[in-house]
Structure 1
């Protein structure tokens, strides 16, 4: 939550975060499938109750300044930031959590019905079937695929009925593919950019969004900024959408 507070303070437009299900069916915001790397505990998220998870210190691994930081519920993030800053939500390890899309759909639908703008919600996953499943449950919330490589024309045609954006490893992106994807109605986001020259390179080939571990300088007023608390460890992930 400290990272999200900082994102709001810096006037970013979206937070990127990962969700998983606790043993008692609660959506918690954490990247790893276990608490081993980023807390003072051990164990798999799926085998721990919410009480077990939130009893852990999830800040000290990063810095003593964040001692006592907790793994938050998705609802806590929505309560604090919903409507103020957008949420790009990644569904993690759906094979471990067969009911995660249903749970996420129920939670987000409730917040939308209470007035949270749908345009401030995006859901993505590496699992194609899970993205399609979530889209069927919540067709009015934008969904996208995380990919290591671009899709072929058959895939672009097949997936467009449930995916509106594609987040792709920047090594694989070309201007030609982006134009093809645009023809089928997709926005293209590139990950993970680490240097300023790569940021400009992605802009040059025409991506609609850039996912980065670093704060990238830009002068285009149409860029939207996104931030993620951590991937590798001590770095923040910041995303910029054109």
Structure 2
């Protein structure tokens, strides 16, 4: 079963930072990163629309430059908000990258930034149009549709988008036939967000291919 480090194992490490990436890599098959555009145009790795929660500063990410974001102290690491390019460079080639696009219009650029390194790359989003707009000639870049609670509609969207993966919420989808349906359609299933080993065993028996987790201890 593949282990994907959610924000670089956010329960153990300062989320979405280069520090988290460095510490998560030895225990993860892939690193999941949240990506959005900053005020100077670059793609940066941060979950929220503002820096308020993860730094002692305030302000919207789309109003701060990459240089200003780099000068912040994220979660007391002494390091700032990294660009996607820098984060991708910090991930060894044998560790995959999952890019969670947090806003519209960045999927193609995100895939291009990650394609400069020799990693397997999955571009994911809750938003079907965001994935549908992705244009890339890189065969190592694949799509993953993140599922909410509209099970049938979401599954149909994933099929229409020709996704290689679905990323459903584990509690909802464990009780359906979605795993078998996904496998029959040629899609792997990586479920989120897992926080107990008990859940892992249930999911393993159900046939999931990977788990997105906040700690490596779940395995």
TM-score by length of 1: 0.75
What is the CA-CA distance between 1:204 and the residue it aligns to?
1.2
The total of aligned residue pairs comes to 200
Query: Partner residue of 1:70?
Result: 80
Gaps of 5+ in 1: 61-65, 219-242
Structure 1 residue runs of 4 or more that deviate by more than 4 Å after TM superposition = none
Query: Partner residue of 1:137?
Result: 136
SS at match of 1:28: strand
What is the CA-CA distance between 1:157 and the residue it aligns to?
7.4
What is the CA-CA distance between 1:7 and the residue it aligns to?
1.5
What is the CA-CA distance between 1:213 and the residue it aligns to?
2.4
Check if 1:86 corresponds to 2:96: yes
Check if 1:3 corresponds to 2:12: no
Q: How does 1:1-242 map to 2 (within 5 A)?
A: 1-8=18-25, 10-60=26-76, 66=77, 68-94=78-104, 98=105, 100-109=106-115, 111=116, 116-117=118-119, 120-134=120-134, 136-138=135-137, 140=139, 141-149=141-149, 151-152=151-152, 155-156=155-156, 159-173=159-173, 174=175, 176-216=177-217, 218=219
Q: Distance in 2 between matches of 1:207 and 1:164?
A: 14
Could you say which structure has the greater relative contact order, defined with CA pairs below 8 angstroms and 6 or more residues apart?
2
What is the CA-CA distance between 1:16 and the residue it aligns to?
0.8
Query: Contact between 2:146 and 2:168, CA under 8 Å: does it hold in 1?
Result: yes
What is the CA-CA distance between 1:161 and the residue it aligns to?
4.4
What is the CA-CA distance between 1:150 and the residue it aligns to?
6.1
Query: Contact between 2:196 and 2:218, CA under 8 Å: does it hold in 1?
Result: no
Q: Distance in 1 between matches of 2:36 and 2:212?
A: 21
Gaps of 5+ in 2: 1-17
Q: Report the CA distance shift for 1:199/1:70 in structure 2 as closer, same or farther (over 3 A).
A: same
RMSD: 2.2
TM-score by length of 2: 0.82
Deviation digits for residues 34-81 of structure 1, max 9, x if unmatched? 100001211111111111111111132xxxxx2x12111111122222
